[in-house]
Structure 1
Amino acid sequence: LGVLREVMRNFYSPLKDSDRMLRFVFLTGITKFSQLSIFSELNNITNVSMDTEYAGICGITKEELVTEMHEDIQQMADVLGLSYDKTLEKLKENYDGYHFAWPSSDIFNPYSLLTCFSKRKVDSYWFGSGTPTYLLNMMRKYDFTPIDLGEQMDASKDDFDAATETMTTIMPLLYQSGYITIKNYDSETELYTLALPNKEVRIGLYRSMLPHYLAAKSAMCNTTVAKMSALINKGNMDGALQLLKTFWETVPYCDNTDYEGHYQQTMYIIFALLTNFRILVEQHTFRGRTDITMETKDTIYVIELKFNKSAQEALDQINNKHYADAFALRGKTVEKIGMNFMIDEDKTIVLDWVK
């Protein structure tokens, strides 16, 4: 880090001596360093990172998209066989969601959006340009889990718009590298709500995490997840769970996975990869917190996980603590599922469930 800081200082310092020849200088980057450590000689820089006036300067706003790229959206619609509005909704779901100030226009990822238009296909493009190995290592360092990443986080400006060289949590790195973004702001508490920006980031990030939890079985898991999504869309949860059970029996047992938290984290990643469904973990209810809640277009599944106990014990906990009552007024069917992982005498991972 010190070497990098010195290189950057030597690169930017000559700007001070060239001040009389400069009319406009705009510096961008991913990781924020303290201004003193990099720009000690260049003391006339103004940080506009979170100024509302400049919130849309480094992306494509929704207004720009629908006016300047109207024809591109229509061409995408023709290829996808969708209406203009449905195509715009699909683009928004996958590539929108960034905010660098509040209030702010909706900002689309320019790289992913333009690549999508070029290839005429909605896909995950941002993660194809690199792998987040460094991020995963830092998550372990700061004891930050996939479940933590999937939840909304409330934070003050100094918690995330901070120099990564002195960070004490992973939040500045997550925010500045685009894995989380501003979703809301409370003027009374002066707290920002941060979360994953869109589907592309969620799917890409969790898919990249799979090998760290499932080793060589991650590719097979992706296939299983795709088939599960199709079955759940048809209302066949039993078929989806049977696929999941069969998959787990192929995963080699390891001593360092012999605890409930490992399976909860891995199951969360698997459920997070299921497309078109809303996934919540450790959701608060009046009587406690559900392990996993999944919401489809017409059904809410309340799922409790156990390790080396029984699926019935998990279901009993849902019933005894009345977890499902929290969703009674949502106008959807509520199904309760108790799940249990066991390691049998052959060191095979066995998943059982009861509804």
Structure 2
Amino acid sequence: MKRVAIGKQSFEDIRKKDCFYVDKTAFIKEWWEMEDDVTLITRPRRFGKTLNMDMLNCFFSNKYKDRGDLFEGLDIWKEEDYRRLQGTYPVIFLSFADIKANNFKDTKNDFVSVINDVYKQHSYLLKSDKLTEAEKTIYGQLDTYASNADVNKEISNEIVCRAIKSLAEMLYKYYGKKVIILLDEYDTPMQEAYVNGYWEELVTFTRSFFNSTFKTNPYLERAIMTGITRVSKESIFSDLNNLEVVTTLSLKYTTVFGFTEQEVFDALDEFALSEQKGEVKAWYDGFVFGEQKDIYNPWSIINYLDKKKIALYWAESSSNGLINNLVQKGSTYIKKMLETLISGENIKVPIDEQIVFSELDYSEDAVWSLMLASGYLKVISAEELNMIRESDNEYELALTNREILFMFRKMILRWFSPAKNETNEFVKALINGDIEGMNVYMNEVALNTFSSFDSGKKTASKKAPENFFHGFVLGLMVDQIDNYIITSNRESGFGRYDIMLEPIDKNDAKYQGRVLPGIVIEFKVINPRKESTLEETVEAALKQIEEKNYDAELIKRGVKQENIHHYGFAFRGKEVLIDGR
């Protein structure tokens, strides 16, 4: 049994130390034979992008000439022609993964540092008589600026944007061969620019950098970029008509990033975990790339093989900051759609694969495109409403798997950190019929956190508390999925209830010596034309549950009438009143 190495992104290191590795080298042949000049591949984070890029570097770079031992026994080494191709190209390998500054000046400095590091890797060029003095001077300019030897000295955007093209020319002169350029995590600076408010400035800079590096570069053999999102062509790729874009919806390279189900099951067999296949599938399966279903995220699988227990490995491997920010500050529409997803239902929304970060501030549907690209949602089906405009495609989406479900549940609870320690007490109060305990908890939540949320631009402000707490309560109850079937906004009797909890076991008295109750919840905002007090509003909510016969569905499924709890939630601004019977 091979050792599992967590977080190792060096292909050479993995192979030399004989660590666990899922063979993805067939990608080398597949990509090379496509003959695409510049390829952009987007996949969610921690899906093996960096490791695959390092694999390409080890295969093509003349730095690894005569290092076929790294590929012995792997798929690519079965190809005689590719054995001769290994180690024959000059390669420029960059990563923007660490460019995460909160302003443009520091971001530019980080760009220079990354480029300068690449120049240092090829410092042997300085000893060559094939380079002009002007070309050798570029080395000094980049190094001086990157090391802050003279903080008052500025380096022009033009020199930075042309630096990789200039290096490609030097390598071409030295080797007599065009270069391969590999750029990992190209979009990390773009996301930081959006979050920190210098998007337009960085777009202008990056457009010039990409144009020089990938479009007007006669010394380029081929290039690959990887990232999470496909940033709009109109922003940074406007000049690149030689760009082949491969997203999670594309049919190319569908099994290259991530593990297929067969690869996962083979690994479980190897590690004597065969009996855990069903549980592993429920938690970590669900990603869909093109028409390839049953893709698993590698990070969770590798951690599971190492630790042999279920946990939120992928979901908690980063802060999920951008998604968290967009959902938390989003409109009521966004929160209601998330509520639908958390309840196990699907949503239908238009998807545009080209992320325009500036649109995230005013386009409510743009968040779903970002969540799909990031791996939080999966495609159930697609309907092409207009074959001409890709952005008009409507997709039916669902949460990817159980790990993502629990990630969003924890995310919601973190929004309410002032009262999160009492969350379990609220759930107990709800099940036990402790009206006073429920009121104490909900009013504390309303007082401490409600005002920090956007009530929604397209929903009447009087409905905001109802929609807000509807989603919040549903999020709290996700913790009970082992005990309850939780549904929302479904038909029962003569209407549509807000939230229903159906006990999975209707007869076993396992909860504090008694059977778990069925629960029906109705939310109402005070209507001044009909009610003068919250007491009247909550009574109207309870009366609606009875008159609309919302119990009908629970009774039909075997829950006894006397074991059903009704709760009404009444709201007036940040005031909350709960009652039940």
TM range (shorter): 0.7 to 0.9
Measured after TM superposition, the shift of residue 291 of structure 1 is 0.8
Q: Which residue of 2 aligns with 1:79?
A: none
Indicate conservation of the 8 Å contact 1:150/1:196, yes or no: no
1:1-355 aligned at under 5 Å gives the runs 1-13=199-211, 14-18=213-217, 21-23=220-222, 25-49=223-247, 50-72=249-271, 74-75=272-273, 84-85=274-275, 87-101=276-290, 103-139=291-327, 140-151=329-340, 152-156=346-350, 159-165=351-357, 166=359, 168-169=363-364, 170-185=367-382, 191-212=394-415, 214-221=416-423, 223-224=424-425, 228=428, 237-238=431-432, 247-248=441-442, 251=445, 253=447, 256=450, 259-276=465-482, 277-285=484-492, 287-299=494-506, 301-306=519-524, 308-309=534-535, 313-326=540-553, 330=557, 336-341=564-569, 351-354=578-581
Indicate conservation of the 8 Å contact 2:260/2:296, yes or no: yes
Write the letter of the residue equivalent to 1:302.
Answer: V
Q: Which consecutive unaligned segments of at least 5 residues does structure 1 have? A: 76-83
Write the letter of the residue equivalent to 2:565.
Answer: I
Question: CA 1:243/1:45 → structure 2, altered by over 3 Å: closer, same or farther?
Answer: same
Write the letter of the residue equivalent to 1:28.
Answer: T
Quick check: 331-340 or 120-129, which moved more?
331-340
Indicate conservation of the 8 Å contact 1:97/1:106, yes or no: yes
Question: CA 1:38/1:252 → structure 2, altered by over 3 Å: closer, same or farther?
Answer: closer
Indicate conservation of the 8 Å contact 2:523/2:570, yes or no: no
Write the letter of the residue equivalent to 2:398.
Answer: A
Secondary structure of 1:46's counterpart equals strand
Structure-1 separation of matches of 2:441 and 2:234: 53
Q: Which residue of 2 aligns with 1:78?
A: none
Q: Which residue of 2 aligns with 1:81?
A: none
Measured after TM superposition, the shift of residue 321 of structure 1 is 1.4
Q: Which consecutive unaligned segments of at least 5 residues does structure 2 have? A: 1-198, 341-345, 387-392, 452-461, 507-517, 526-533
Structure-2 separation of matches of 1:62 and 1:41: 39
Q: Percent identity?
A: 23
Deviations 1:270-321 (A, max 9, x none): 1123343443322245733211123443356433245634766434322321
Structure-2 separation of matches of 1:278 and 1:96: 21
Structure-2 separation of matches of 1:115 and 1:248: 37
Quick check: 141-150 or 112-121, which moved more?
141-150
Normalization by structure 2: what TM-score?
A: 0.49
Measured after TM superposition, the shift of residue 149 of structure 1 is 0.8
Of the two, which has the highest radius of gyration? 2
Secondary structure of 1:174's counterpart equals helix
Structure-2 separation of matches of 1:19 and 1:241: 73
Indicate conservation of the 8 Å contact 1:268/1:292, yes or no: yes
Measured after TM superposition, the shift of residue 267 of structure 1 is 1.0
Write the letter of the residue equivalent to 1:125.
Answer: Y
Structure-2 separation of matches of 1:68 and 1:210: 34
Normalization by structure 1: what TM-score?
A: 0.75
Measured after TM superposition, the shift of residue 193 of structure 1 is 0.9
Quick check: 179-188 or 89-98, which moved more?
179-188
Structure-2 separation of matches of 1:30 and 1:144: 25
Question: CA 1:150/1:106 → structure 2, altered by over 3 Å: closer, same or farther?
Answer: farther
Indicate conservation of the 8 Å contact 1:181/1:196, yes or no: yes
Measured after TM superposition, the shift of residue 353 of structure 1 is 2.6
Structure-2 separation of matches of 1:2 and 1:289: 46
Write the letter of the residue equivalent to 1:149.
Answer: L
Deviations 1:74-95 (A, max 9, x none): 34xxxxxxxx44x222222222
Indicate conservation of the 8 Å contact 2:490/2:498, yes or no: yes
Structure-2 separation of matches of 1:210 and 1:131: 14
Question: CA 1:260/1:92 → structure 2, altered by over 3 Å: closer, same or farther?
Answer: same
Aligned residues: 329
